[in-house]
């Protein structure tokens, strides 16, 4: 028994979903850098802690977007099955 065309497409979709999540590397690095600079800013000026934290969270959430696009592509490949 061989692999049918349908199974082959599903397998390739799963591989593509895995590859799409490589997009998670960039936001991880970016959020880490933002958190690091946020920590050093709090260390330099502890009085501005709440302002620094809210700015850092906003920036991190914006930086996260590209990773989430990758996640959406992966979820579409896995669950919506556009090529199946």
Partner 1 sequence: MLFLADNSLAESFMIRGIYKMPFKFLGGDVWITTTAVSSWIITIILLIFGIYVGSKFKNAKDIPSGFQNFIEMAIEALNGMADSILGENKYRFINYIGTIFLFILTSNLSGFMGMRAPTADYGVTFCLGLFTFAIVQFQGIKNNGIGHFTGLFKPIPVLFPINLIGEFANPISISLRLFANLLSGVIMLGLWYGMTPIFAQIAVPSFLHAYLDLFSGCIQTYVFCMLTMVYVNDKL
Does residue 42 contact residue 52 with C-beta atoms inside 8 Å? yes
Q: Which residue in the set 15, 19, 72, 83 belongs to the binding site for partner 1 (CB under 8 A)?
A: 72
- CA 65 from chain centre, in angstroms, equals 7
Q: Which of the ranges 28-36, 40-48, 54-62 carries the binding residues for partner 1, by CB under 8 A? A: 54-62
In whole angstroms, what is the distance from residue 44 CA to residue 54 CA? Answer: 17
Residue number with CB closer to partner 1 (42 or 64): 64
Q: Give the footprint of partner 1 on this chain (CB under 8 A).
A: 10, 13-14, 51, 54, 57-58, 61-62, 64-65, 68-69, 71-72, 75, 78-79, 81, 84
């Amino acid at each position: 028994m061989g692999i049918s065309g349908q199974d082959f497409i599903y397998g390739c979709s799963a591989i593509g979903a895995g590859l799409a999540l490589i997009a998670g590397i960039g936001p991880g690095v970016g959020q880490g850098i933002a958190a690091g600079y946020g920590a050093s800013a709090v260390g330099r000026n502890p009085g501005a802690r709440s302002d620094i934290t809210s700015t850092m969270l906003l920036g991190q959430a914006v930086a996260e977007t590209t990773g989430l696009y990758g996640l959406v592509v992966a979820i579409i490949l896995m669950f919506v099955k556009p090529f199946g």
